[in-house]
Structure formats: structure tokens, C-alpha cells
Structure 1
Amino acid sequence: MTKIIELKNATVQVNNGLDDAKTILDDVTLTIYEHDFLTILGGNGAGKSTLFNVIAGTLPLTEGSITVMGEDVTFMTAQKRAKYISRVFQDPKMGTAPRMTVAENLLIAKYRGEKRRLISRRIQDHKEEFQRMIAKIGNGLENHLETPAGLLSGGQRQALSLLMATIKRPELLLLDEHTAALDPKTSAALMNLTEKFIKDDHLTALMITHRMEDALKYGNRLLVMKDGCIIQDLAADKKSEMTISDYYGLFE
């Protein structure tokens, strides 16, 4: 199996202001293989977001290493890692440019990770393609190609963020509690859309969730984190045997 991401002894320490370093990611070794869909559970301060930030390149390692597709990216900036990795955030406002239209946001995403040059991108040439894309979403977004993203509903904006994150097929899709700010019905619709994107495009994905039901239903691997460590890494067969009660038991 192809290794997409490999962390070896990944450690992050931060100074708490009292001349005492606190470890927020503790000697984590993890391999993510092609077509894995991992869900991550853990309480506040467990290290979930730290793990995401380390992979994305927005937080440097204190010790250890990280490779993407066999390339050592330990000291590579987040901007350069963007050619491999895309991310959907918890806050619907973070993944899109609010004053730009849906079409303009998609055009930015289409060139993610590429060198930017001061030439016209001729957005008119892409509008038919973008209209076909948003027609697949099914939440009314198809009527808003020329609407500024800031005027969309939260569910529409997250769906746009997901589309932007996958328009150029990433090696790894990071889903950072991307349904947490939505109501239950909208959240369920977005999770169904997420699963469809992952399956149809054969993506590799890593998803943080606090919803036990989503951790049970989605993905082929489950990571449980506590105190900056991965304390469980359950494969599909073990995961399928578990109930919600079993999941709660993992934290005891």
C-alpha cells in the first residue's frame, strides 16, 4: 500500500510562560495509507488540532519528522505543502473569501499550490465547468454561482469549502470538525456529501469529529487521542464491531 503521510516520533512542545515546556503532541508515529479515511476522537486538549496543524505545516515539530508521498516535508512551509494537502475548517467563514463570488472562489481553488502570476485567469472560460460542479451539491448552491460567498448559508458555504478543497484532487484531505457549526440536518447532509466525494474521487482523508455517531459510521480507521498521544488505532474490522457505548469506554 502507498504511504501518503508518515509521522515518526512527532513531538511538539510549547512554552507556557513559566519557563516550563508543555508537550502537546507526544512522540506520535502514524502512517496514513492511500484511500484511508480516518476519523479522530479525543477530548479537549487531546492533541487533535495539533496533529492537523503539524501535518498541514502551520505548526513546526519540536522533534521528529513528517513525509508526504515519501518526500520529507518536516521543514516545508504550509504554502508549499498545499500542493499535497487541502483542509476544510470548522468555521464556515475560514475556507472561503466572503467578498468573492462562488465562481471566483472556485477559480482560486482550481490553481491551489501553483505559482501565481499577474495574468488574467479568464473566469468566463470556467463558469460552465463550475456550474456543473455546484449542480452536484444539491443544497441550492447551483443558484449562486455569482453570489458572494459571505451571503451563503453556513451549509452552502461549507459545501463550497469542501468543493474547493477537492477541486484539485489532494493527496490528503483534512476535515477539521467541518460539520460542528451546523445544525443536525445540515450536518448530516454535509457528511453524506463528504463521503460521496471521498468515495467517488478515491480520496485519502483525516477527519476530526466530536460526534460519536459519525465516528462509528464513517471511515475505515479510528484514532483515539489523549494527552497528545494516539492511544487507539482501530482498523475497519474492529471499528465495525463497536457501539456508541464502546466508544465512550475508550475515554475511561
Structure 2
Amino acid sequence: MTAVIELIDATKIVQNGFNEQKVILDGVNLTIREHDFITILGGNGAGKSTLFNAIAGTLRLTSGQVRILGENVTNWSAEKRAKHLARVFQDPKMGTAPRMTVGENLLIAKYRGERRGLISRQLAAHSDTFLALLARTGNGLEKHLETPTGLLSGGQRQALSLLMATIKRPELLLLDEHTAALDPKTSQSLMALTENFVTEDQLTALMITHHMEDALKYGNRLIVMKDGQIIKDLNTAEKASMTLADYYQFFE
């Protein structure tokens, strides 16, 4: 399988006041291969978000490398990496423009990472495609193509964020605790939709979750992080052989 993302000895050290330093990512080595769906578990301060930010380019490494499709992108900006990566955040408000309609948000996402001149947006030409895409969510979004996004429910807005992140197939989809702000029923619906998108469209995805059950249920690999390091990298068979009690032992 093709290596989509590689982290090589990825280390991030920050100043922690009074000339003290704190290592928040500690020599991490990770290879994400094409079609991997990797879930990440870890307590607060384990390094999960730092790992995401290092991949996305919103946090520069102190040392080590990030590679995308074999190319060293360590010094690339987040904007330059955006043509390869898409991200769904924990807060439903983060991934969409509230005053723009659902259709306008999708149109922006369709041209992610491309140069755009001052031309007519031609939204009507994409409406049929967008309606079919919205219908995949199963939550009535197709009825809201012309609705300002700020008027949607949290679950609908997060489903739209997922559509926007995948409308232009990314090399890697980053799911940053994207169900955490939703009620349990809506969270389950969004996870089912996420798995549907990842498996049917054969995406490569990396997902942070605090839900132990989701980490066990979804994905072909599970990574456990602690103190800025990956302490476990389990494949499907290894995941299946473990219980919730086994996982809780990692955090003791």
C-alpha cells in the first residue's frame, strides 16, 4: 500500500514558562497508508491534537519530518498542504461559513486548494450534484440547499462539514473529535455516515475519539497515545482480541 502520510521522528517542544520546556510530541514515527482508517485514543495532553496539527501544518515541528506521498512537506504552510488534506473539527461552527447557504459552502469546498479568479460562481450548474450529495446524509439536508448554514442544527452542520471535507477527495481526512459536541443519537448517526463515506469512497482517514466504543468499532487500526508518544498501534485482529478493560489499562 502507498504511504500517504509519514511522520519521521516528529518532535514538538514548547516553552512552559520560566525557561522550562515541555515535550508535547516525542519522536513519533507513523506511516498512514492508502485506505487506512485509523482511530486515535489518548487522555488529555497525550499529544493527539498536536499530532493532527503537525500533519495539517498549523503547528511546526521542532525537529523531524512530515511527508505527504513521499514529499517532504515539513516546511510547507497549512494553506499549501490544504490541497492534500481536509479536516472536520469538534465544533460544528468551525468548518462552515454561517451566513453563506449550504450550496455556497459546498461550492467553496469544491474548489479547495485551487486558484480562483473573479468569475461567476455558477452555483446553479452544480445544484443537481449538490442535492444528490446532500441526500446521502439521510438527515434532510437536501431540503436546505439555499438555507444559511447558521440556521442548521449541530448535527446537520457537522454532516455538511463532512461533505465539504470529502467533496474533493483528500489524500487524508482528519476527523478531530468530530462527534464530541453532539448528543449520543446524533453522534451515532454521524459516525455511521462517516464510516459510509470512508468505506464507499475508499478514503484514508485519521480520527481522534474519546469514545472507547467507537475506537473499537471503527477503522482498521487503532493508535493509543500517551505523553506525546504512540504506545500502541493495533491492527484489526489485535483490536478484535481486546476488551474495554484492556484499553482502560493503557491509561492507568
Q: Tell whether the structures are fold-level matches, with TM greater than 0.5.
A: yes
1:138 paired residue number:
138
- How many angstroms apart in 2 are the aligned matches of 1:49 and 1:13? 14
1:234 paired residue number:
234
- How many angstroms apart in 2 are the aligned matches of 1:37 and 1:211? 16
1:250 paired residue number:
250
Question: What is the CA distance between 1:86 and its match in structure 2?
Answer: 0.3
- How many angstroms apart in 2 are the aligned matches of 1:37 and 1:233? 12
1:45 paired residue number:
45
SS at match of 2:76: coil
Could you give the per-residue CA deviations for residues 55-93 of structure 1, whole angstroms, max 9, x where no partner exists? Answer: 000000000001001111000011110111000000000
2:4 paired residue number:
4
- How many angstroms apart in 1 are the aligned matches of 2:17 and 2:216? 39
* 1:1-252 matched pairs, under 5 angstroms: 1-252=1-252
Runs of 4+ in structure 1 displaced over 6 angstroms?
none
Identity of aligned residues (%): 71
Amino acid at match of 1:33: R
- Count of aligned positions: 252
Q: Which ranges in structure 1 are unaligned for 5 or more consecutive residues?
A: none
Question: What is the CA distance between 1:36 and its match in structure 2?
Answer: 0.5
- How many angstroms apart in 2 are the aligned matches of 1:237 and 1:223? 14
Amino acid at match of 1:176: D
- How many angstroms apart in 2 are the aligned matches of 1:41 and 1:62? 24
Amino acid at match of 1:102: V
Amino acid at match of 1:62: T
- How many angstroms apart in 1 are the aligned matches of 2:123 and 2:103? 8
RMSD value, Cα: 0.7
Question: What is the CA distance between 1:117 and its match in structure 2?
Answer: 1.5
- How many angstroms apart in 2 are the aligned matches of 1:203 and 1:10? 24
- How many angstroms apart in 1 are the aligned matches of 2:52 and 2:16? 21
- How many angstroms apart in 1 are the aligned matches of 2:219 and 2:249? 20
Could you give the per-residue CA deviations for residues 169-199 of structure 1, whole angstroms, max 9, x where no partner exists? Answer: 0010000000000000000000000000000
- How many angstroms apart in 1 are the aligned matches of 2:9 and 2:222? 20
SS at match of 2:215: helix
Could you give the per-residue CA deviations for residues 42-65 of structure 1, whole angstroms, max 9, x where no partner exists? Answer: 000000000000000000000000
